[in-house]
Amino acid sequence: MNNKYLILVNRNNQISEKYECEIVNCDSIYAKDRKLEKETYLQFKKLEDFISKKGYTIAIESGYRSYDYQKKVWNEILISKGIEYTEKFVAKPGYSEHQTGLAVDFLLYENGNFYDDVKMLGHPVLKLVADNAWKFGFIIRYPLGKEKITEYGYEPWHLRYVKNKKIAKYIKDNNLCLEEYLDMLKK
Ligand SMILES: [Zn+2]
């Protein structure tokens, strides 16, 4: 794949340990030390602004995670919880999309509290993001009903930057996941 913004990383497609992209420090009201690929960050800020004009505050919870960081997390959880738990819930180093710098987990800030992952389920902000993320080049990476293909549960808070808005809109309008879109390109 020549287009780096369409890179596929999942449980069967490993990212090279040498993968490099331009990583920048992010400004997030949630945490100070988050990082993302440069363009992903710029576009996420625009999405954040758009959502804020609709009356909700979202922020970066998790962005770029390096290979070494993922390895550290993997080893720590392996020691404390054992292999079965670790394999089920933690991405192996090299298999986390967060290593691309193109993945953002966002959370919601409302009435002085942060709401992340399942605590946001049912909140209107999720639909607002799902309907509009394409305008900024993002897709919902782990959509509902695609669990067998993505091998991840529904994660409406995990956005993936694909850059091209037409592609992002096409994926949304046709209810595809990234794996299905890339398969379609091959045919
Ligand atoms: Zn994520």
Structure tokens at 171: 């994926």
CA distance 118 to 126: 11
Amino acid 18: pLDDT: 82
* Pair 10, 42: CB distance under 8 Å: no
User: What's the whole-model pTM score?
Assistant: 0.92
pLDDT band at 2 (very low <50, low <70, confident <90, very high): low
Q: In this predicted model, what pLDDT tens digit does every residue of 82-126 receive, in sequence order?
A: 998 888 778 888 999 999 999 999 999 999 999 998 899 999 999
Continuous segment of H or E residues that includes residue 113:
strand 113-115
Ligand 1: distance of its center to the CA of 93 in Å? 14
Structural domains in the chain (count): 1
Q: Which residues pair with 94 in a beta bridge?
A: none
DSSP character for 100? Answer: G
Whether residue 187 is predicted with pLDDT greater than 60 in this model: the reply is yes
Q: How many CA atoms does the CB half-sphere of 27 hold within 13 Å? A: 5
Q: In this predicted structure, what is the pLDDT of residue 101?
A: 96
3-state DSSP helix/strand/coil % of the chain, to nearest 5: 45, 20, 35
Q: In which region does residue 96 sit, left (phi positive, over 0), alpha (psi from -120 to 50) or beta (all else)?
A: beta
Q: Is 155 a catalytic residue?
A: yes
Whether the predicted pLDDT of 29 surpasses 70: yes
**For residue 23, how far is its CA from the centre of ligand 1 (angstroms)?**
17
Distance 68 CA to ligand 1 centre (A): 17
Residue 36 pairs with which residues in a beta bridge?
Answer: 24
Structural domain for 13, as ranges? 4-186
What separation in Å is there between the alpha carbon of 141 and the centre of ligand 1? 9
From the list 99, 103, 185, 105, the residue with the least C-alpha distance to 137 is 103
Percent of the chain past pLDDT 70, that is, above it, reads: 99
- pLDDT tens-digit map of 63-89: 999 999 889 989 999 999 999 888 877
Task: Write the Ramachandran bin of 26: left for phi over 0, alpha for psi from -120 to 50, otherwise beta.
Answer: beta
**CATH number of residue 135's parent domain:** 3.30.1380.10
Catalytic residue, chosen from 39, 110, 147, 155, is: 155
